[in-house]
A = this chain, B = another copy of it.
Amino acid sequence: MADLDYEKMSGFFKALGNPTRLRIVKELTEGEKCVGEVESSIRVSQANVSQHLTILKAHGIVDCRKEGNARCYYLRQTDLIKKILKLIESKEA
C-alpha cells in the first residue's frame, strides 16, 4: 500500500470532529437541504451553520448548488458517510 496522506485523512476526521458539524452531516444524510433548513433543524445561528458548511465543503464532505437565492448542500459521498456513521453509532462505549 502506498504511503497514506495522513494530513488529508486526518483532515477528514477533524471535519467530523465537531458536534455541530456532525449534526449537520447527519441532517444531510436525509437528503439535500438548504442553509435555512439546516439552521432550523439543528437550531444554530445562520452564520455559524454557514461557517461549518464552509469547513465541510473545504474537506470535500459536502458540496452545494444554487437554487434561487438559496443554497442547497448535499453530501458528496452519501454512502461512504452513512457507512462510517453507522459503524460508529453501533460501536459500544
Q: Give chain A's interface residues, CB within 8 Å of chain B.
A: 1, 4, 6-7, 9-23, 26, 60, 77, 80, 83-84, 87-89, 91, 93
Contacts and interface: CB of A to CB of B under 8 A. Distances in A.
A58 B3 CA distance: 28
Given A4-B26, A10-B22, 10 more contacts: A1-B89, A4-B89, A6-B19, A9-B22, A10-B18, A10-B21, A12-B88, A12-B91, A13-B17, A84-B88
A8 to B, nearest CB: 8
Contacts of A84: 84, 87-88
B80 A91 contact: yes
Contact of A10 (B1, B17, B80, B83): B17
